[in-house]
Amino acid sequence: MLRDVQDYYERVYAGVLGKIIGVYLGRPFEGWTYEQIMARLGEVKFYVHEHLAKPLIVVDDDISGTFAFLRAMPDSGNTLDLTAAQIGDTWLNYLIENKTILWWGGLGMSTENTAYLRLAQGIRAPESGSMALNGQLVAEQIGAQIFIDGWAMIAPGEPELAADLARRAASVSHDGVAIHGAQVVAAMEAQAFVEPDIDRLLDVGQGVIPRDSLINRLIDDLRSWRVRYSDWHDAFAQIAAHYGYDKYGGNCHMVPNHALIILALLYSDDSFSRALSIVNTAGWDTDCNAGNVGCLMGIKNGLAGLDDGPDWRGPVADRMYVAAAEAGRTVTDAVLEAQQVINIHQALDGGTPWQPKQGARYHFELPGAVQGFQPDDSPLCRGTVWVENIGGHSAVGQRALAMHLSGLADGRLARVLTETLPAMSASGGYRMVACPTLYPGQTVRARLEADRALSGPVQVRLVVLAHGPADALEPYGPPALTLAPGKDVELAWTVDLPAGCPAAAVGLEFASTARVDGTVYLDWLTWSGAPTLRFDQPAHAGQRWLDTWAVACTDLAHGRESLYTVIQNRGLGMILQGTRDWRDYTVHARCQANLSETFGLAARVQGLERYYALELVKGGVARLVERRYERRVLAEARYDWALYRWYDLKLTVQGNRLQACIDGQVLFDRTVNDPFEGGGIGLLIEEGRLNVDAIEVKAL
């Protein structure tokens, strides 16, 4: 049986942290052999990214796929009747071809790319991943295993259920032995919520797959080698001899890498740090294997277990990216993703959602959580503050973020910030696709409390760093307020930024004319609702205003004849912007089709397969459409539109009411059952070129 609810919350969080720590640790040397790692790095016992001149926090398929594909559950109503076909639909919704989540290695080379192409052709899961269609070699690569952790964490203490969910999810892209490996990992992770013993977990994992399967034989061998060999290096030599890469084809076959996961668990001595050291030093698909091992060990040993070696959590600071077509959710953190997992389980179990501090985005309610908040390291601010999560100092919860000021004085500032838009760099072939999480017109609110021992009053304000001239970051915010020792304050600011200056970070700024030392506590920080803004070219040089769109089309550029030129060579293309916080609003755009089968404007966009749209269709037709994987026409009317002419399109979403206008004329006014609750905006073009100006969003 499950332990208490708080224990479950913390173990999910530890599992998410373990996953991302493992991925970040192994990512810089993915694909290296044991021999290469030992020669160049020695036994891997801490992050080596700086040694290899690579970033720590990266876009990676192991993280993005794990948490994006799990959205199939809430998107489908959180039901245990969820099918492989529905999970496949989720792939089509969140994947932008050649850009997001997957390694796009090509048909027959990348298993996931192959499955995506099958899905895009209309072949539904599980056939899309079947051995009969794709061949044994393609079907039995590692990907079934690397995306599986979320399905286990929504089934705590229920290994059979976790294994069944893993089978459905894995069959979208894989078959055969790959599914067995995924089921073993999922079952072990689910049971790890209630069982700490590795041998008993292995018994559970082996029990959910056929007794005569290759994976079961592999695990039996590893368990026997553990008895025979005291040193894991000797056991690894046996793996290389019997189950090595030379025995199995493809880029990263399930079997050798599954063996390394079992190796690390058996020789871990129950230590999170030792398990990660072994699985990374052993080589092959290091980030994938370390992600699974880190998640399982995180669940099993809990948050305290993450601290059995070096400081794994500090450098990571909860930061992670889930880069997908719904790009307003790319910037996330381990708490937010743990909360998604927890609330899926709550829904399946008939419970209420976990929404600490009235649903605040940043609530710090899990031990050690900083949710990406870090000191600004710019020269003006460097060394003036450090942060930690502590108990107490919350009006409505149990924990807060302590911001320890040190040497704040005249001529110095202290800023504590969390990211709202990442640098748009790729990492190891994985594209960064993201739009901001925060927009002008939204109101940021926060509650602060000053420690009584604070040495003097401070000036404090909310602050947003936005991309200004040449895309350099510039601070914006309201006038500062005075916060005295022992006092508390709630801050609010409706974000106001210059046109074309996307928000890159949000947080707090402290100043003082006299030296101040001591602590101020951040209870929570949040925003919600739709913005009010106009997407426009900035008055300065820079490209970030253009980069913030999720581009699911052939090309997006700043046009000579318009603000944006959107081009799609084949099929339907989109550009997307915004977040699911956007619920009730009007979106307006001025559009001109130079060539088009269909063009239009979308609202409450939740990916490529979930939105409402006003469309103008070749042949003189206007339509109000709901796309929920299948396209459904809600209303249709004759409308004689023409190429090269500008049209003002407007779409209003308010509750379950949809209203569509062209050139000020109301064409459609409909109500819908079971509406999408929120989502961003999009521009659509089918096989042609679309010029777009004057894109505006206005909150209702």
Tens digits of per-residue pLDDT, 620-649?
A: 999 999 999 999 999 999 999 999 999 999
| Number of domains composing the chain | 3
Output the pLDDT for position 430: 79
| Predicted confidence band of residue 538 (pLDDT cuts 50, 70, 90) | confident
Q: Is the pTM of this model over 0.75?
A: yes
Which of 269, 291, 321 is the C-terminal boundary of a domain? 321
Q: Is the pLDDT of residue 474 over 70?
A: yes
Joined together, the tokens standing for residue 606 give 């939740």
- 393 backbone dihedrals φ, ψ, rounded to 5°: 60, 35
Joined together, the tokens standing for residue 593 give 């089709």
pLDDT tens readout for residues 34-74: 999 999 999 999 999 999 999 999 999 999 999 999 999 99
Q: Which residue has the tokens 């396209």?
A: 631
Tell whether 221 and 304 lie within a shared domain.
yes
Joined together, the tokens standing for residue 340 give 């998604």
Q: How far apart, in Å, are the Cα atoms of 338 and each of 154, 342, 366, 524, 564?
A: 10, 6, 10, 17, 37
- 242 backbone dihedrals φ, ψ, rounded to 5°: -105, -30
**Does 534 reside within a domain?**
no
- 259 backbone dihedrals φ, ψ, rounded to 5°: -60, -40
pLDDT tens readout for residues 252-306: 999 999 999 999 999 999 999 999 999 999 999 999 999 999 999 999 999 999 9
Q: Is the pLDDT of residue 468 over 90?
A: no
Provide the percentage of residues in the chain whose pLDDT is more than 90: 94
**Does 589 reside within a domain?**
yes
pLDDT tens readout for residues 213-228: 999 999 999 999 999 9
- Compute the average pLDDT of residues 511-540: 94
Output the pLDDT for position 2: 65
The CATH number of residue 163's host domain is 1.10.4080.10
Output the pLDDT for position 498: 92
Distance between CA 383 and CA 555 in Å, rounded? 43
Output the pLDDT for position 431: 84
CA nearest to 525, candidates 676, 390, 405, 364: 364
Q: Is the pLDDT of residue 540 over 80?
A: no
Pairing of strands 555-557, 564-577: antiparallel
**Does 543 reside within a domain?**
no
Tell whether 190 and 266 lie within a shared domain.
yes
Tell whether 599 and 516 lie within a shared domain.
no
**Does 25 reside within a domain?**
yes
**Does 350 reside within a domain?**
no
**Does 123 reside within a domain?**
yes
pLDDT tens readout for residues 324-355: 999 999 999 999 999 999 999 999 999 999 99
- Better-scored residue on pLDDT, 543 or 413: 413
Q: Is the pLDDT of residue 107 over 60?
A: yes
Q: Is the pLDDT of residue 195 over 70?
A: yes
Four-residue CA torsion sign, 203, 205, 207, 212: negative
Give the mean pLDDT of the chain: 96
DSSP of 37-90: HHHHT-S--S--TTTTT--SS---HHHHHHHHHTTHHHHTTS-TT--HHHHHHH
pLDDT tens readout for residues 552-599: 999 999 878 899 999 999 999 999 999 999 999 999 999 999 999 999
Output the pLDDT for position 4: 86
Do 143 and 159 touch, CB atoms closer than 8 A? no
Q: Which residue has the tokens 């940043």?
A: 362
H or E element in which residue 591 lies: strand 585-595
Which of 475, 492, 526 is the C-terminal boundary of a domain? 526
Output the pLDDT for position 449: 98
The CATH number of residue 598's host domain is 2.60.120.560
Q: How far apart, in Å, are the Cα atoms of 594 and each of 520, 539, 651?
A: 57, 27, 22
Three-class SS of residue 601? Answer: strand
Which domain covers residue 585, as residue numbers?
549-699
Three-class SS of residue 549? Answer: coil
Tell whether 502 and 576 lie within a shared domain.
no
Tell whether 596 and 514 lie within a shared domain.
no
Tell whether 567 and 512 lie within a shared domain.
no
| Predicted confidence band of residue 3 (pLDDT cuts 50, 70, 90) | low
- Compute the average pLDDT of residues 165-169: 98
Tell whether 634 and 603 lie within a shared domain.
yes
Tell whether 304 and 212 lie within a shared domain.
yes
Tell whether 508 and 566 lie within a shared domain.
no
Bridge partners for 598 per DSSP: 617, 686
- Compute the average pLDDT of residues 188-206: 98
Output the pLDDT for position 627: 97
Three-class SS of residue 699? Answer: strand
Which of 291, 321, 351 is the C-terminal boundary of a domain? 321
Tell whether 593 and 693 lie within a shared domain.
yes
**Does 680 reside within a domain?**
yes
The CATH number of residue 410's host domain is 2.60.120.260
Tell whether 102 and 208 lie within a shared domain.
yes
CA nearest to 151, candidates 209, 90, 71: 71
| Predicted confidence band of residue 539 (pLDDT cuts 50, 70, 90) | confident
pLDDT tens readout for residues 117-145: 999 999 999 999 999 999 999 999 999 99
**Does 353 reside within a domain?**
no
Joined together, the tokens standing for residue 135 give 């061949």
Tell whether 311 and 392 lie within a shared domain.
no
| Predicted confidence band of residue 429 (pLDDT cuts 50, 70, 90) | low
